[in-house]
Amino acid sequence: MTPTHLYIYWIKISNKKGEKMLRGNEIKPAEGKLGVMLVGLGAVSTTFVAGVQAIKKGISEPFGSVTQMSTIRLGKRTENRTPLIKDFVPLANLEDLEFMAWDIFEYDAYESALKAGVLEKELLDKIEPELRSLKPQKAVFNNNYVKKLHGTYVKTGINKMDLAQQLMDDIKRFQEINNCSRLVMAWAASTEVYLESDPVHNTLESFEQGLRDNHPAIAPSMIYAYAALQMGVPFLNGAPNLNLEIPALRKLAEEKKVPVAGKDFKTGQTLMKTIIAPGLKARMLGIHGWFSTNILGNRDGEVLDDPESFKTKEVSKLSVLETILEPEKYPQLYKNLYHKVRINYYPPRGDNKESWDNIDIFGWLGYPMQIKINFLCRDSILAAPVLLDLILFIDLAQRCNMSGVQEWLSFFWKSPMTAPGLYPENDLFIQQMKMKNTLRYMMKEDLITHLGLEYYNEM
């Protein structure tokens, strides 16, 4: 099999439990409104919603958004066919997005955005009515899973199944009132404490019994995902929480034929890692150590100040280098790599995170060199376009009848989900190629291998 055949085969098997994948003009059109349901109305969600409203009003351009700004090459380089992705595949228009949210605090999106401190008041004032109209619903929350927060705007119920039912009622109401033809749910709420998989997660039956028994291994994020999948709504997991990868939820996604994707938005320091590490590896430069530290002062930083929530994040951040560098294949270069990640809560910085990376590398004859990166980044400014792209792409996947884990969206995740037993691809550029080839496949265009011999053979 050629790489192209292998790739087509991968798409076919990754979709084997769903219906036939729809391609080209078979893809269901993006007609009507797309309801976007955000779990958590904090820094990322408000920066995303405010950005969409500002772009719709012509206040800004959609910088950072692949769906809105990136082009895709089709056919040979000599054909000069490079449409914008949004003109190539049938995506929902920004005008057709309707928002709803859940949060443990009652602040509307305007108040919450002011508190998050990412965007300036002057900008928020220009879109105040749109933001004011986004008022959250009461959340499903339990302080045992996010120790640093004490929310008051929280649902009560006889058990976790009852809470899931209440979420499904919220979903139905939102869809009816806003006349949405399709929905997507995204977890952009706080990182929950580290949870190991538990037998209760193993089957849908044991999970549903666990919901009725208030089993402690079922976290609020799983209750939201369960509610979404039961309603046939695609779910995105923006945090590193154990969630969609548990067998019960995977099974439910397959049974309901719903696409899902996760986890943990790829922004900031990890984005840099997935840009730089593949380059060092491509040139066969060794790495002795990679020390990463951050200061950040937003609520996310406060939540991550709790060691149990930090552990969830740490596992997600650490796994990236392993899968890019493949120390088992290159023991001389990466076997002894010492990788350390630290996050320090430092309130004066707010959302304007600062990260430092010290990378101790070595080259020819083992001579050592160092790389220092000081990234003064804005986490939510990087996360918001990622959230937009994921929402538009997973809605597209659903209209193509694609279901289960959408590995072609790895590009956007710190810890990409894969089929069971398959290692994740973390190299940003391989992820980008996979994403663009999937879009070409959807639209029945030739996949691009970058072989390019034809340019020379024909001369």
Q: List residues binding ligand NAD (CB under 6 A).
A: 39-44, 102-105, 116, 139-141, 146, 149, 151, 188-191, 220, 238-239, 264-265, 267-268, 298-300, 379-380, 382-383
Neighbours of 144 (CB within 10 A): 12
Closer residue to ligand NAD, CB minimum distance, 317 or 399? 317
Contact 261, 413 (CB under 8 A): yes
Nearest to 406 by CA among 207, 182, 237: 237
Minimal distance, residue 39 CB to ligand NAD, in Å: 5
Question: Which residue's CB comes closest to ligand NAD?
Answer: 42
Minimal distance, residue 219 CB to ligand NAD, in Å: 9
Closer residue to ligand NAD, CB minimum distance, 90 or 385? 385
Neighbours of 70 (CB within 10 A): 15
Minimal distance, residue 415 CB to ligand NAD, in Å: 10
Closer residue to ligand NAD, CB minimum distance, 224 or 441? 224
Rg over CA atoms, the chain: 22
Closer residue to ligand NAD, CB minimum distance, 90 or 238? 238
Neighbours of 224 (CB within 10 A): 27
The DSSP result for 325-360, as a single string, is H-TTT-HHHHTT-EEEEEEEE-GGGTT--EEEEEEE
Beta partners for 10?
A: none
- φ/ψ of residue 240, rounded to 5: -80, 5
Cα 413–chain centre separation: 5
Closer residue to ligand NAD, CB minimum distance, 378 or 436? 378
Contact 167, 230 (CB under 8 A): no
Contact 52, 388 (CB under 8 A): yes
Closer residue to ligand NAD, CB minimum distance, 37 or 258? 37
Minimal distance, residue 118 CB to ligand NAD, in Å: 8
Minimal distance, residue 379 CB to ligand NAD, in Å: 3
Minimal distance, residue 454 CB to ligand NAD, in Å: 41
Minimal distance, residue 307 CB to ligand NAD, in Å: 15
Closer residue to ligand NAD, CB minimum distance, 302 or 360? 302
